[in-house]
Amino acid sequence: MLAALLYGQEDLRLEQVPDPTPHAGEVILQVGAATTCGTDLKVWRRGGHAKMLKPPTLFGHEAAGTIVALGQGVTKWQVGDRVVANNSAPCMACFFCQRREYSLCTDLTFNNGTFAKYLRIPAAIVEHNLLPIPNGLSYAMAAMTEPLACVLHGVARSNARSGDRVVLLGDGAIGLMFVATLAQRCEVLVFGGNDSRLQIAQKFGAAQTFNYRQISDVPSFVRELTGGWGADIVVEATGVPSAWETAIACARPGATVNLFGGCPRDATITVNTEQLHYNELTLKGVFHNTPEFVRSALSLIAKGTVPFELLISDRQPLQNLEQVFQDMKHRKVVKVAIEPGDEE
């Protein structure tokens, strides 16, 4: 089959690889749609990921499709079932899993390789994070379950209360998903660099949107908007170290700052200890998702109350994947649904 392999920094190749076969407890999906993600873009540009993969490796981590083969011992699923697979599953046995802190599992099973005709789903994911796609929901929409699950985890860790003023830094797919989920009970102020994406944020319920390129001092501007105090909650969704520092500077005394965007390996930031201490700030790094939020995410997408389809800018065959990543790099698209079809 034709599949995408990441070899290093911006080195993505389409190659013929053997069709996967299932081991005990595993299933094989025929990919209906694999959606691109900001994490994929960062991994492609950086040439790796601290947790999920090490090149050379099959690439892509958001997908939905149809089961075409079952491994020995799989009894809960049948060939022909339409399913969405999270890209990971916790071990359920380690120190953190015993405390239900599943995103911190020391033995998370990660799975990559969605940009291909077929995808092998490891047994741990089959057991804990493989879900049936509700009737009427497309593969592309279902494939967005994984990033939305991460966002729902991030929202839960943000301690947002009804009426809070939230500053959201970032207008990528993850940032826009944060808007869609937080705007239901909070006043969300979005700062991004792309006017068309900020329009999507408005459709998702943002109270106000701002192009940060037109603002010389974002923290000072936020204080002007909030009576001189700063935001109750700040969510950083870019993965840029300087934006982490901006996020902290936008927070009012007593605020929670959710440092959600993953920065490059070994990146550091500078924090003013006086501000951190005397303003009683809560700084949180938030990573990944849990089985609970995977299920909640699919349910929210299926309800159709939020127009998440606005995030899918285009649909392309697998052969065009390199151009898709170039378009993502230049911010021409938000998410693209890759549809392998019958490509060999």
Q: pLDDT value at position 264?
A: 87
53 vs 293: CA distance, rounded Å? 22
**Segments making up each domain of the chain, as ranges:** 2-149+289-338, 159-285
Q: Per-residue pLDDT tens for 8-64? A: 989 999 999 999 999 999 999 999 999 999 888 888 888 777 667 777 989 999 999
Contact between 153 and 297 under an 8 Å Cβ cutoff? The reply is: no
- What the block records as the tokens of 190 is 């979005």
166 vs 247: CA distance, rounded Å? 11
The ranges of the chain with pLDDT < 50 are: none
Q: pLDDT value at position 343?
A: 54
The SS3 call for residue 165 is: strand
Q: Per-residue pLDDT tens for 233-273? A: 999 999 999 999 999 999 999 999 999 998 988 899 999 99
**Fold of the 2-149+289-338 domain:** Quinone Oxidoreductase; Chain A, domain 1 (3.90.180)
CATH architecture of 159-285: 3-Layer(aba) Sandwich (3.40)
Question: Phi/psi of residue 321, each to 5°?
Answer: -60, -40
Closest CA relative to residue 116, chosen from 11, 209, 18: 18
Q: Which amino acid is at 140?
A: A
Q: pLDDT value at position 336?
A: 97
- What the block records as the tokens of 37 is 């993600």
334 DSSP assignment: S
273 vs 147: CA distance, rounded Å? 33
Q: Could you tell me the CA-to-CA distances from 42 to 10, 104, 263, 295, 328 in Å, in that order?
A: 10, 21, 9, 26, 10
Q: pLDDT value at position 176?
A: 98
Q: pLDDT value at position 50?
A: 60
